[in-house]
């Protein structure tokens, strides 16, 4: 009898696949259920944001940064504002800095909630996703009260923020934190300790620290591989140097492999607690005062260039901005965390099952608009 | 941690005439190096124990008019310092040697720079468009890029009568 014939199959996954978190397509080559090659086909959401940035004045690019990563719009706003502030040498008032940290960390919670919830739902557990969305709604309510929007906040301004907190808002943020902190434990009991969930992730697709750095992984994905690096600590901006918080790293949680999908997941869960800690400190010490620095109506930063990186929920977001002294930038290059996370998938998924690819995408927290820009 | 001046000095000592320009003032200290020797310089930055730039943040293409420029934004997790390399190539033949063998992260960044800026990276496989469709014409981030009238039978021009162009110049005056 001749040996069993096996062929490599070419299989299409996406762009409208429930687990691809937006519009991402993979061209899979599979040997049975084992992945021989997964070539990501990106660009479905390419809107040419870098070109648009060259066509509009500096402050007018702010709403576009919302669309860069619509799950963490304020972090993106802040990254753009900070880049231009560094370029033009603008000082931001203390109250605005505090408001930025509070909103950015709230947004980080909202973003991580969606990430961990979606990963659980990709693994076949739908309930945690609904729990996560329920808590995220409360954050959206807080943001709606603050600036009127629930997704694309457009909250930061160059030199400050757009609106001060309405009366009683800080108390409601405090109320949310008091409500939410025990909810992390509820969430952990619901899914993080679930045996099936843990087994699906804890040994899957480990990334070593060297590989993570070589492929340019950033943020929770990098920390999941055990590299203790957070731009808020190591290249601090805003008022982060005055705040106390830990940087959680992966350590082979649940007897798994260091840098596995579960480690990346756990880093996000642990970061949720740190976000709460940071917001509490800011609420305790926020000063009265201005929320907007004096910025010329038509901003023309002096000739020069800057590369400014900040820590968004998906890791380093870097704006490389060149000014020629005009009212529009000469060039804006946007470096995002999902881009590098996406580029590692091809190498990482080799030899794993198709079902594991879903775990890999979910645990790397890839989001399409940030990849495609 | 090494200061930018120190890093520039080390590269100059090693490569001398291959360093065409040294800029240390401003917010982005950088070196402009000869395109032909980029790979050697990058390998030196990556391997030298005092520098050890193990992380390539991004590759950016810049249109300078006569020339195109590739910008390499580097960082070292080992020493916590940052530096930038630039390479200028002529517009009519923009070829830069690849660094994807030194930093695997460069693979996608180079593909993107090729796609949007039209800088070709030599010595690497699989240099194809990544964000735009395969049959797209031109490289949008070049300053002389003309927006297409149509793509694949779909008109991309706005109907002036229904949607008059307010004109960005007027709006932001």
What pLDDT is recorded for position B138? 86
Q: Give domain status of residue A152, yes or no.
A: yes
Q: Crossing angle for the helix pair A94-122 and A127-147, nearest 10 degrees?
A: 160
What pLDDT is recorded for position A180? 92
- Is the confidence at residue A262, as pLDDT, over 70? yes
pLDDT bin (cut points 50, 70, 90) of residue A34 is confident
Tokens 């590989």 correspond to A211
Listed residue (A331, A286, A299, A279) closest to A81, CA to CA: A299
Q: What are phi and psi of A205, to 5 degrees?
A: 50, 60
- Is the confidence at residue A327, as pLDDT, over 90? no
Averaged pLDDT for residues A22-46: 85
What pLDDT is recorded for position A19? 63
Q: Give domain status of residue A305, yes or no.
A: yes
Q: A8 and A31 in contact (C-beta within 8 Å)?
A: yes
Tokens 């982005």 correspond to B28
What pLDDT is recorded for position B11? 82
Number of domains in chain A: 1
How many residue contacts between A and B have a Cβ separation below 8 Å?
Answer: 85
Q: Who wins on pLDDT, A80 or B161? A: A80
Q: Who wins on pLDDT, B31 or B163? A: B31
Beta strands across the sheet bearing B30-33:
B19-23, B30-33, B81-90, B67-76, B55-63
SS3 per residue for A118-146: HHHHHCCCCHHHHHHHHHHHHHHHHHHHH
What pLDDT is recorded for position A277? 92
Does the distance separating the beta carbons of B60 and A331 come in below 8 Å?
yes
Token pair of A162 as six digits: 């757009």
User: What whole-number percentage of chain A has pLDDT above 90?
Assistant: 35
Tell me the residue range of the domain where A152 lies: 48-356
- Is the confidence at residue B158, as pLDDT, over 80? no
Q: What are phi and psi of A362, to 5 degrees?
A: -65, -40
pLDDT bin (cut points 50, 70, 90) of residue A44 is confident
What span, in angstroms and rounded, lies between the C-alpha atoms of B116 and B138? 8
Q: A338 and A367 in contact (C-beta within 8 Å)?
A: yes
- Average pLDDT taken over every residue of chain B: 85
Q: How far is CA A102 from the centre of its chain?
A: 16
pLDDT digits (tens, 9 = 90+) for A84-93: 998 888 889 9
Q: Indicate which of B86, B108, B112 best probes the interface with A, i.e. most A CBs within 10 Å of its own CB.
A: B108
Averaged pLDDT for residues A104-108: 92
With a CB cutoff of 8 Å and minimum separation 6, the contacts of B71 are A320, A333, B30, B59, B60, B61, B62, B84, B85, B86
Q: A273 and A112 in contact (C-beta within 8 Å)?
A: no
pLDDT digits (tens, 9 = 90+) for A335-347: 998 898 988 998 8
What pLDDT is recorded for position A124? 84
Minimum distance, in Å, between the CA of residue A51 and any CA atom of chain B: 6
What span, in angstroms and rounded, lies between the C-alpha atoms of B22 and B14? 14
- Average pLDDT taken over every residue of chain A: 88
**Gyration radius from chain B CA atoms:** 19
pLDDT digits (tens, 9 = 90+) for A172-212: 999 999 999 999 999 998 888 888 889 888 888 889 998 99
Pairing outcome for strands A34-41 and B30-33: unpaired
- Is the confidence at residue B15, as pLDDT, over 90? no
Q: Give domain status of residue A149, yes or no.
A: yes
- Within 8 A of B56 by CB-CB distance, chain A residues are 216
What pLDDT is recorded for position B70? 92
Residue of chain B whose Cα is closest to the Cα of A42? B131
What pLDDT is recorded for position B171? 60
Q: What are phi and psi of B148, to 5 degrees?
A: -70, 150
Residue B173, CA distances (Å) to A167, A353, B170 in order: 36, 56, 5
User: What whole-number percentage of chain B has pLDDT above 90?
Assistant: 17
With a CB cutoff of 8 Å and minimum separation 6, the contacts of A52 are A61, A64
Half-sphere exposure of A157 (CA within 13 A, CB side): 19
Q: Give domain status of residue A124, yes or no.
A: yes
What pLDDT is recorded for position A1? 64
What span, in angstroms and rounded, lies between the C-alpha atoms of A78 and A313? 12
What span, in angstroms and rounded, lies between the C-alpha atoms of A277 and B158? 50
- Is the confidence at residue A101, as pLDDT, over 90? yes
End-to-end Cα, chain B, rounded Å: 45
What pLDDT is recorded for position A140? 92
Which residue spans within chain A are E strands per DSSP?
9-13, 25-31, 34-41, 156-157, 160-161, 304-312, 315-323, 331-335
What span, in angstroms and rounded, lies between the C-alpha atoms of A62 and B15? 42
Does the distance separating the beta carbons of A320 and B71 come in below 8 Å?
yes
- Is the confidence at residue A30, as pLDDT, over 60? yes
Q: Which helix (H) or strand (E) holds B69?
A: strand B67-76
What pLDDT is recorded for position A321? 92
Is A182 exposed, middle or buried (CB count within 10 Å of its CB: 0-12, 13-18, 19+)?
exposed
Q: What are phi and psi of A125, to 5 degrees?
A: -105, 105
Averaged pLDDT for residues A229-249: 89
What pLDDT is recorded for position A137? 92
Pairing outcome for strands B81-90 and B30-33: parallel
Q: Give domain status of residue A267, yes or no.
A: yes
pLDDT digits (tens, 9 = 90+) for B119-144: 999 888 888 888 888 888 888 888 88
pLDDT digits (tens, 9 = 90+) for A15-25: 777 666 677 88
Q: Which domains does chain B have, with CATH numbers?
A: 4-159 (3.30.460.80)
Pairing outcome for strands B154-155 and A25-31: unpaired
What span, in angstroms and rounded, lies between the C-alpha atoms of A273 and A253? 17
What pLDDT is recorded for position A15? 78
pLDDT digits (tens, 9 = 90+) for A277-295: 999 999 999 898 888 888 8
Minimum distance, in Å, between the CA of residue A255 and any CA atom of chain B: 27
pLDDT bin (cut points 50, 70, 90) of residue B46 is confident
Residue of chain B whose Cα is closest to the Cα of A316? B57
Q: Give domain status of residue A21, yes or no.
A: no
Q: Indicate which of A62, A90, A333, A335 best probes the interface with B, i.e. most B CBs within 10 Å of its own CB.
A: A333
How many beta carbons lie within 10 A of that of residue A197, not counting itself?
A: 22
Tokens 């020629």 correspond to A324
Does the distance separating the beta carbons of A318 and B168 come in below 8 Å?
no
Q: Give domain status of residue A368, yes or no.
A: no
Q: What is the CATH number for A185?
A: 1.10.645.10
Q: Does the interface ipTM go beyond 0.90?
A: no
- Within 8 A of A331 by CB-CB distance, chain B residues are 60, 62-63, 141
What span, in angstroms and rounded, lies between the C-alpha atoms of A260 and A170? 38
- Is the confidence at residue A324, as pLDDT, over 60? yes
Q: What are phi and psi of B100, to 5 degrees?
A: -70, -20
What pLDDT is recorded for position A315? 87
- Is the confidence at residue B169, as pLDDT, over 70? no
pLDDT digits (tens, 9 = 90+) for A148-183: 888 889 899 998 898 888 999 999 999 999 999 999
What span, in angstroms and rounded, lies between the C-alpha atoms of A51 and A43? 15
SS3 per residue for B24-89: CCCCCCEEEECHHHHHHHHHHHHHCCCCCCCEEEEEEEEECCCEEEEEEEEEECCCCEEEEEEEEE
Listed residue (A262, A251, A236) closest to A364, CA to CA: A262
- Is the confidence at residue B159, as pLDDT, over 70? no
Q: Among A42, A215, A306, whose Cβ lies nearest the Cβ of B104?
A: A215
What pLDDT is recorded for position B162? 65
Listed residue (B35, B71, B41, B61) closest to B53, CA to CA: B41
Q: Give domain status of residue A129, yes or no.
A: yes
Residue A76, CA distances (Å) to A91, A154, A174, A200, B108 in order: 19, 9, 24, 32, 22
What span, in angstroms and rounded, lies between the C-alpha atoms of A309 and B28? 13
- Is the confidence at residue A221, as pLDDT, over 70? yes
Does the distance separating the beta carbons of A342 and B108 come in below 8 Å?
yes
**Gyration radius from chain A CA atoms:** 21
Averaged pLDDT for residues A219-232: 90
End-to-end Cα, chain A, rounded Å: 55
Q: Among B55, B61, B132, whose Cβ lies nearest the Cβ of A46?
A: B132
């Amino acid at each position: 009898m001749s040996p069993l014939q096996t062929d490599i199959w070419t299989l299409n996954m996406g762009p409208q696949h429930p687990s691809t978190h937006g519009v991402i397509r993979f061209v899979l080559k599979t040997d049975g259920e084992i992945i021989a090659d997964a070539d990501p086909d990106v660009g479905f959401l390419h809107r040419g944001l870098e070109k648009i940035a060259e066509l509009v004045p500096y402050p007018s690019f702010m709403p576009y940064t919302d669309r860069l990563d619509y799950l963490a719009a304020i972090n993106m706003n802040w990254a753009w504002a900070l880049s231009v502030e560094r370029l033009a040498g603008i000082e931001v008032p203390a109250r605005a800095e505090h408001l930025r940290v509070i909103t950015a960390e709230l947004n980080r919670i909202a973003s991580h909630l969606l990430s961990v919830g979606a990963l659980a739902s990709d693994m076949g557990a739908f309930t945690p996703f609904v729990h996560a969305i329920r808590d995220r709604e409360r954050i959206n309510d807080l943001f709606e009260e603050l600036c009127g929007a629930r997704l694309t906040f457009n909250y930061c301004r160059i030199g400050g923020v757009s609106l001060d907190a309405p009366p009683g808002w800080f108390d409601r943020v405090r109320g949310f934190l008091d409500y939410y902190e025990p909810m992390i434990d509820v969430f952990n009991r619901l899914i993080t300790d679930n045996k099936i969930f843990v087994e699906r992730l804890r040994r899957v697709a480990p990334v070593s620290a060297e590989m993570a750095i070589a492929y340019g992984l950033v943020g929770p994905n990098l920390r999941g591989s055990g590299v203790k690096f957070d731009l808020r600590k190591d290249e601090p901006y805003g008022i982060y140097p005055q705040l106390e918080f830990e940087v959680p790293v992966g350590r082979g949680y649940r007897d798994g492999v260091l840098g596995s999908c579960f480690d990346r997941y756990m880093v996000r869960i642990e970061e949720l607690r740190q976000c709460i800690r940071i917001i509490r400190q800011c609420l305790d010490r926020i000063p009265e005062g201005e929320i907007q620095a004096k910025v010329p109506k038509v901003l023309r930063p002096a000739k020069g260039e800057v590369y400014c990186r900040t820590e968004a929920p998906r890791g380093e977001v870097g704006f490389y901005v060149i000014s020629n002294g005009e009212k529009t930038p000469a060039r804006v290059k946007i470096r995002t965390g999902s881009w590098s996370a996406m580029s590692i998938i091809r190498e990482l998924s080799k030899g794993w099952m198709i079902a594991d690819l879903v775990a890999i995408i979910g645990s790397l927290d890839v989001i399409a608009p940030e990849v495609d820009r | 941690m090494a200061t930018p001046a120190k890093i520039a000095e080390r590269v100059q000592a090693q490569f001398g005439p291959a360093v065409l320009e040294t800029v240390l003032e401003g917010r982005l200290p950088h070196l402009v190096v000869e395109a032909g020797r980029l790979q050697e310089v990058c390998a030196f930055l990556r391997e030298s124990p005092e520098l050890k730039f193990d992380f390539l943040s991004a590759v950016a293409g810049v249109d300078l008019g006569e020339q195109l420029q590739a910008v390499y934004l580097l960082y070292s997790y080992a020493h916590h310092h940052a530096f930038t390399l630039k390479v200028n190539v002529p517009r009519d033949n923009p070829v830069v040697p690849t660094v994807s063998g030194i930093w695997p992260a460069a693979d996608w960044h180079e593909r993107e720079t090729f796609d949007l800026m039209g800088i070709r990276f030599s010595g690497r496989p699989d240099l194809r468009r990544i964000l735009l469709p395969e049959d797209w014409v031109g490289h949008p981030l070049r300053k002389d890029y003309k927006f297409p009238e149509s793509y694949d039978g779909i008109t991309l021009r706005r109907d002036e009568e229904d949607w008059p162009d307010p004109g960005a110049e007027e709006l932001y005056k």
